[in-house]
Amino acid sequence: MVIGGGGHYPVGDSHSLGIGPVYFMGMHVLLAEDDRQLQRQLAEQLTQFGHQVETADDGLGALAIIGQKAFDIVILDWMMPGVDGITVLRQLREGGMNVPVLMLTALGQVFDKVEGFDAGADDYVVKPVDPLELNARVNALVRARRTTDQPSDTVSAGDITISPSRLRAWRNGRPLNLSQTEFKLLLELARNAGTIVTRPMLIERIWGLDFMPTTNLVDAHIRHLRVKLTEHGDDPISTQRGMGYLLRA
C-alpha cells in the first residue's frame, strides 16, 4: 500500500503532532510491520511529515516490494512471523543493497544491538514509537548516507564548512576553535542541517549512551558551541522545544 508523497514539505500547524511549521525531508519509505494497527498509525504519522510510505505485513512482502522499487530508507520490525526483520536485513546486505535500514523493537524485548548492527542495521527505535523521534532518525539516516556517498571530504551547512578527516571547521572562512565534543556536535547537526536532531540521538551518537542522562549534558555543550559560532555570525542553531536542535541549512 502506498501512502503520501515525496518532496520537501512544511508540516503547517500539525496539531496532532504538537509541532509548528517545521520543514522536513520527503522520503520514499518502506515500512514492514506485522501489527496492522501500529503499521497504519506509523504510516499516517510519517505521511504527515511529507514522506511517501509503502507498507508490508511481513518479511517476505518486504523483500518482494524491495525487489521491484527503490527506497530512500527501509523500516523493519525486528520480530515478524515467518521471515523476520533481521533475516530481511541480512538478505539486503548480502545482495549488495546499501539502503539505510532502521529496526523497530518492542519495549522489554531482548534486542541484540551488536547482532543488528553486525547484520547491517543503521539505527533502531524502541516501541512505543515517538513519531517525532522516528521522523528525526529517518531524516538523519538518509542525509548521512547521502553525505557519505558524496566524494568531497567536506560537509557544509550555510556558511559553515567542516572537514571530518582533518577535524577542522570554519564559519565564513574563519577557523572555529572547537573541543572534540563540540566538533562532533557541529558535525552531527551539519549532516542533518535543516532537520531536527533530537537529544536522544545526540546522546547516542556523541556520547555512545542509549539512555538519557539526568543532567543537561547536551544543552550545556550546545551553549558552548553557540558561543563559538556567534563569534563569526548570528546563531545558526534553533532550539526546537521538547524535541532537539536544528542547524540552519
**Domain holding 218: CATH number?**
1.10.10.10
Clarify whether residues 79 and 183 are in a common domain: no
Q: Which residues of 13-51 are buried (b: 16+ CB within 10 A; e: fewer)?
A: ebeeeebeebbbbbbbbbbbbbbeebbeebbebbbbbbb
Task: Please provide the distance, in angstroms rounded to a whole number, between the alpha carbons at the two ends of the chain.
Answer: 33
Mean pLDDT across the chain, nearest whole number? 84
| Residue range 192-249, pLDDT digits in tens | 999 999 988 999 889 887 666 667 889 999 999 999 999 999 999 999 888 899 999 8
Q: Domain residues for 51?
A: 2-147
140 and 158, same domain (yes or no): no
Average pLDDT over residues 129-151: 81
Question: In this predicted model, what pLDDT tens digit does every residue of 52-73 receive, in sequence order?
Answer: 999 999 999 999 998 888 888 9
Looking at the fold, whether 111 and 224 belong to one and the same domain comes out as no
Peptide bond preceding 128: is omega within 30 degrees of 0, i.e. cis? yes
Mean per-residue pLDDT, 101-120 = 78
Q: Rounded to two decimals, what is the model's pTM? A: 0.62
CA 100 to each of CA 75, 120, 131: distance values in angstroms, whole numbers, following the listed order = 9, 9, 18
Q: How many domains does the chain have?
A: 2
One domain, residues 109 and 26 = yes
Please give the Cα distance from 18 to 20 (Å, whole number).
7
In a shared domain, residues 138 and 190: no
Final residue of a domain: which of 126, 147, 168? 147
193 shares its domain with 107 = no
Q: What is the percentage of the chain residues whose pLDDT exceeds 90? A: 51
Instruction: Single out the residue in 147, 172, 203 at which a domain terminates.
Output: 147
- Last-in-domain residue among 131, 147, 163: 147
| pLDDT 10s digits, 11-37 | 333 444 444 444 445 789 999 999 999
